[in-house]
Each structure stands twice: as structure tokens, then as C-alpha cells.
Amino acid sequence: MNVAAPDLAPETATPFVLDSAPEIALVGCPNSGKTALFNVLTGARQKVANYAGVTVERKEGAFVTPAGRSVKILDLPGTYSLRGRSPDEAVTRDVVLGRLDGEAIPDAVICVADATNLRLVLRLVLELKSVGRPMILALNMVDIVERLGGRVDPERLSQELGIPVVTTVAVRKGGADDLIAAVDRLDFGRRVDVHGWSEPTGDEIRAAHAEAARILQACAFHPGDEKLTRRLDRVLLHPVAGLAILFAILFLVFQAVFTWAAPAMDLIKAGAGLVGDTLRIALPDGILRSLLVDGVVAGVGSVLVFLPQILILFLFIILLEDFGYMARAAFLMDRLMAGTGLHGRAFIPLLSSFACAIPGVMAARVIENRRDRLATILVAPLMTCSARLPVYTLVISAFVPDRTVLGGMGLQGLVMFALFSAGIGSALVVAFVLKKLVWREAPEPFLMELPDYKWPRPWNVALGLWQRAEVFLRRAGTIILALMVLIWFLSSWPAPPEGAVGPAIDWSIAGRVGHWLTPLFAPIGFNWQIVVALIPGMAAREVAVGALATVYALSATGEEVGQALQPILAAEWSLPTALSLLAWFVFAPQCASTLAVVKRETNSWAWPAVMFGYMATLAYLAAFLTFHIATWALT
Ligand SMILES: Nc1nc2c(ncn2[C@@H]2O[C@H](COP(=O)(O)OP(=O)(O)OP(=O)(O)O)[C@@H](O)[C@H]2O)c(=O)[nH]1
Ligand SMILES: [Mg+2]
């Protein structure tokens, strides 16, 4: 289905290269800059970030060298060895060894090395040589080696390894020129039998280890670890101070999402109001006016308003990712998560799920153990995805007063923080139940390389934000628009009979379905308008907001016509209903695209069914309890 991948960067186009063009695979340790190089070579915009395990899929691109040679190029997940066990490492192994169905072995390999950290990659190079393909070693990040006063000798390395060695700076313009020139000199005809690679024995591994150490000694000099990284880590990884800083950062993010975004949101809201009013005056009363004003402007406009919040959330995520903090956060959370049975590696997939559960579920490929991975996939959608943000904001701004408490903290931001925490907390509880009570498994030890801190690069940040905005706007212009038109239609057709009283929507299909389902949702305090909005919300959660806008716009009579959604809700809903809806959305049954991805990643319909079932149950229970406790407390 097309809605299935709203958060993935567009596939790279390869329009000008023939199928017969030779294929080169980018292989290397995690976080060495493979994707950054891939982007430079092909002009693609695949995700680059400063932690291991960003790329979990095979991506294809192409370029033409200055000599006019067309080549296809593959970006692959990082791996330390062809013996890797996790699903992402298996992708790399299978591509390099030609084990993938219908796919030949790559014609050549570019091994990408983080030049500041050569020890592990030299072993990988030795292993890759036994595959028997022409190979180039790209010493990437030489800019950092130079800045630290280190030295790497590419000529000597080339002699020792018997393959061409070039230096690159993947994040600099022209930083891959030497690599491109080396590709031009490659002799693709030099085929060697690939079945030369086999699982190495312990002795072979030890021998390779010693050989790598010897070569490293001869060819590279590093003045020790970067001091900045060490110094910062003493504070940021501190068991107490580090955790305190992590929570302070998270808290700051939600405050910022609320306060910084407000002016821009008001502007968009005013703009949408203006467009709606203009259309209402300019067009004669009728179907077209209703479609444009009540369906498109009210519906899509009410979703667009949230763009600033989503961009601010992503600004923080991208900055932290580029800086190299994410892996640290995983490290800090490991002890806490181990208590619940989740693997330390689950942290980054869970964190990615704040954007959207889809990349989060895919990022779980870095987890080797199948049950650890399943547990992570099953709880990932409990993380508050950005599509839930509009629902939260709408309800919070209508019902939570905008004042400060506890000496300067915004109450609205605090409630938002509480909702996100409820998502995280419930994920930990569900994982605990699964891993400790159902599967009774101890988590496996957690090994992860911590990247050196790097200053976020403004261009990368800007590009990342631009991509998010693009994804959001594309969604608003396609699926959300389409659903809004559908909802408008279902809410306006059929028209009421002659002489009917009350709002016309009561006679429409949506109105009838809403009324019909209401008994099911009355125990949790939902009215029929909410019920109508929940259904399209399963396709894309933020549509629930647009649907409410349309449903209330079409129910409006007299005074209320053209009024903004927020004051309508504040007047129409009771506080327990509002709280119950928030509780519902913490667990909100999965959107269709997440279920589709879970099906793909687990290769079975059973797991998406389990996920849907348990989340729907939790959502109903949580909303039920919230509604009744709130009703009781307020009377
Ligand atoms: N200073 C500097 N930074 C670089 C260079 N190449 C990559 N980076 C940064 O290194 C980090 C990792 O880059 P990626 O391209 O995501 O690495 P990758 O090898 O694709 O990582 P995985 O997909 O996780 O295996 C990012 O923060 C990049 O901006 C370089 O030549 N110089
Ligand atoms: Mg990558």
C-alpha cells in the first residue's frame, strides 16, 4: 500500500544507467560514512546520522564517472564482519556473497573505513578480500584525523593490503573525487571465484586480528581518543548526572514543542481561517463551497497547523543524532530497560518511533535475538509518534489552561510530557510482561560502539528538516486530503429529506454510522463525532483532527458557522471526555501502515494481529478508567 512508508526518504532514481552497468557495493563498519558517501556519489538523500545502525536496508543508486563509465552503487547496513547475525548485517552479507534471490554478486566492493578508528575495519578488509572481488578502500573522515593531529598513510596501506586506497571526506563538496577516480581505474573484468569465503575458524580469526594490528601499527598514527569526547562522556554518561541530563533534555524538547511553535501555528491558523472565510464569501452556497470550506480547508488546514510543532520536535532529534548523543542515551537507558527485559539496542528503534513507528519497527533489525526484536517491534508503536502530536495539542489547548506551574513550567507542555511518558512507561510494562512473564528470557548483553561527538552540520540539519516538512506536506496533500474529501462526502450524503430539522449531518452515512457505534464507545465517554473521527484516524492518526474539524463544521448551525475547532470542543466536550480521548490516543490502535510494516518485518499476519488486539484493548481500558475516574473526581 502506498501509505505504508510516509517516513522513508524517496527511493533513489536511476534513470540513466543501464541494467548491465557494473554494480559496486559500499561495505564497512557501522557509522563509517557509507551513506554519506552514497549520497555524495549519487545525489541521493538517504538518512545519515551519528550512530551505528542508521541504514538497515539495501539501497540502490547510480552515477556516471568523469570518464563516462556508468556504475550502479549499493548502500548497505554497516557490519563488522560477514559473520554478522542480526537481520541488518545479514542483508550486507547476503548481498556481498550474492546469496540474495535473483541478484548477482556485486562486481566490486568499496570498503568504507572511519579513518579515526581503523582497527576493526582492517579485519573486515581482510575478510572481504577472501570474497575475491576487486576492492577499493576508502579512508573516510580524514578531515577528523587531520584535525586531531593524527596520520594515516594510504600508500603504505595500499601496499600492505594489495588494493587501491583513497582518502575521502564524505561530508565535503568534492570529498569523494579521489574515490570516483579510483572507480574509473577499476578492472571489473578481474573475476575471482566468490565461493572462496567461508565461515573462518577461530585460528583464522586470531590470525586476521594479528595481521590487522600489525598493519595498523605500520600505517596509522592516532594521538589517542578525541579529548572532547572523553571529557563530555565523563559527565554525560555519569549514572546519575547523565540520566538527569537526559531527562532534562527530553523535558526541554516538549516545552519547546509547545511554546516555540505557538506563533507560527497561530499564523497558519489565521491563514486557513482567512482562506475559509474568503471562500465562504466568494462562492455561492452549495456542494462546492461545502467541499472546499468544510472538507478541504477545515480538514487539511487543521492538520497543517501542526507543521511547526513537528519541525521543532525533529530539530531536536536531528541535532541529538548528529551530535552523537543518541547512542549515549541508549547506553544510559540500558540498565533501566534491562530491568524490563528490553535489549539495550531497542532504545534507538524506540526513539525513532517518536517520529513514526514505521522507521522504528525497521530499525529493530539491528537486534540479533528474534524475541528481543519482536518485543521491540511490538512496543514501538506505544512511543508517541508525531502523528499523535496534533491530537494531543488540539485537546490540550482546548482543555488545559495556558498557565505556568511549579515556578515557570508551562502546564500545557507538562501535560504533553506526561502523555509521552505514559507511552514510554506502558512500552516498558508491556515489554516486561512479554519478556519476563511470557517468554521468561534474560536480555542478551549489550555491545555498542559509542561514536565520537561531532558538531551537527547545519546543512544536514536543514536538509533533514526540509525532508520532514516535505513528508508532512506530501501526506497532507495526498492521503489526508483524500480522506478529508471522503469524510466530507460521507458526512454530507445523503442530504436530509424535505422539512427535516437538526443538522444535516445526522442524516448522512457518517452521522448514522457514528450514532450506530456510539453505544460501544459511550462507556468511555466518546460522543458520535469522536467515533466518526476515530475511523479514518486508523489510516493516519492526524486525520482524526481534520475529521473532527469537518464533522463539527458540518454540524454547525447559526452562531457556530466558521468558528475554529478548539473553542467548539471546549464547549461541546466534558473534561472527562477530553481526558479519555487523550488516554485512548496514548495506546490508539495502530494505523494501517504500521501494521503493514510489522507484517513485512515479522513475515506473518499473526504479529500485527496481536499488536492490534493488545493495543485496542489497552486503549479501551485506559480510556474507560480515565473517563470514570475523572467523572468521579469532578463530581
Ligand atoms: N567530519 C566528517 N564526518 C563524516 C564524514 N563522513 C560521514 N560523517 C559523519 O559520520 C556520521 C555517520 O555517517 P553515515 O553516512 O550515516 O554512516 P554509515 O556508515 O552509513 O552508518 P550506518 O548506516 O549506521 O552503518 C554522520 O554523522 C556523518 O555526518 C567525513 O568524511 N567527515
Ligand atoms: Mg548508512
ipTM for this model: 0.98
Residue 298: closest CA among 306, 290, 286: 290
Residue 562 lies in a domain: yes
Q: How far is CA 429 from the centre of its chain?
A: 22
Give 593 Cα–ligand 1 centroid separation in angstroms: 29
Chosen domain end from 462, 497, 517: 462
Give residue 534's pLDDT band: very low, low, confident or very high (50, 70, 90).
Answer: confident
Give pLDDT, residue 76: 96
More confident residue, 554 or 141: 141
Please give all residues whose beta carbon lies within 6 A of any atom in ligand 1, as ranges. Answer: 28, 30-36, 48-50, 52-55, 77-78, 140-141, 143-144, 169-171, 322, 454, 460
Q: Which ligand is nearest to the CA of 32?
A: 1
Residue 391 lies in a domain: no
Residue 192: CATH number of its domain = 3.40.50.300
Give residue 225's pLDDT band: very low, low, confident or very high (50, 70, 90).
Answer: low
Q: Which ligand is nearest to the CA of 92?
A: 1
| 76 and 188 part of one domain | yes
Chosen domain end from 225, 248, 271: 225
| 331 and 294 part of one domain | yes
Residue 9 lies in a domain: no
Whether residue 633 is predicted with pLDDT greater than 60 in this model: the reply is yes
| 241 and 210 part of one domain | no
Q: What is the pTM of this model?
A: 0.82
Residue 448 lies in a domain: yes
Ligand 1: nearest atom to the Cα of 47: 16
Give 24 Cα–ligand 1 centroid separation in angstroms: 19
Give residue 522's pLDDT band: very low, low, confident or very high (50, 70, 90).
Answer: very high
| 221 and 356 part of one domain | no
- Give percent of the chain with pLDDT exceeding 70: 94
Which residue's C-alpha cell is 525533529? 314
Residue 396 lies in a domain: no
Ligand 1: nearest atom to the Cα of 457: 29
| 448 and 325 part of one domain | yes
Residue 402 lies in a domain: no
Question: What tens digit of pLDDT does each residue of 360-419 get?
Answer: 899 898 888 888 899 999 999 999 888 888 889 889 988 988 888 877 778 888 888 889
Residue 560 lies in a domain: yes
DSSP structure string for 74-126: EE----S-TT--SHHHHHHHHHHTT-STT-PPPSEEEEEEETT--HHHHHHHH
| 341 and 442 part of one domain | yes
Alpha carbons 497 and 360: distance in angstroms, whole number: 49
Ligand 1: nearest atom to the Cα of 141: 31
The CB density around residue 18, as the number of other CB atoms within 10 Å, is: 9
Residue owning the nearest CA to atom 27 of ligand 1 = 50
| 215 and 264 part of one domain | no
Domain with 575, as residue range(s), is 474-634
Ligand 1: nearest atom to the Cα of 460: 29
In sequence order, the 6+-apart residues with CB closer than 8 A to the CB of 368 are: 85, 86, 444
Whether residue 520 is predicted with pLDDT greater than 60 in this model: the reply is yes
The CB density around residue 214, as the number of other CB atoms within 10 Å, is: 12
| 323 and 284 part of one domain | yes
End-to-end CA distance of the chain: 47
Phi-psi region at 285: left, alpha or beta (left = phi > 0; alpha = psi -120 to 50): beta
| 257 and 377 part of one domain | yes
Give residue 7's pLDDT band: very low, low, confident or very high (50, 70, 90).
Answer: very low
| 287 and 381 part of one domain | yes
Alpha carbons 389 and 392: distance in angstroms, whole number: 5
Q: Which ligand is nearest to the CA of 451?
A: 1
3-class secondary-structure state, position 422: helix
Residue owning the nearest CA to atom 16 of ligand 1 = 48
Count of the separate structural domains present in the chain: 3
Give residue 498's pLDDT band: very low, low, confident or very high (50, 70, 90).
Answer: confident
Question: What tens digit of pLDDT does each residue of 22-75 get?
Answer: 999 999 999 999 999 999 999 998 999 988 889 999 999 999 999 888 999 999
In sequence order, the 6+-apart residues with CB closer than 8 A to the CB of 629 are: none
Give 63 Cα–ligand 2 centroid separation in angstroms: 18
| 544 and 489 part of one domain | yes
Alpha carbons 237 and 522: distance in angstroms, whole number: 48
Chosen domain end from 199, 225, 251: 225
Sign of CA dihedral 342, 343, 347, 349: negative
| 541 and 601 part of one domain | yes
Residue 124 lies in a domain: yes
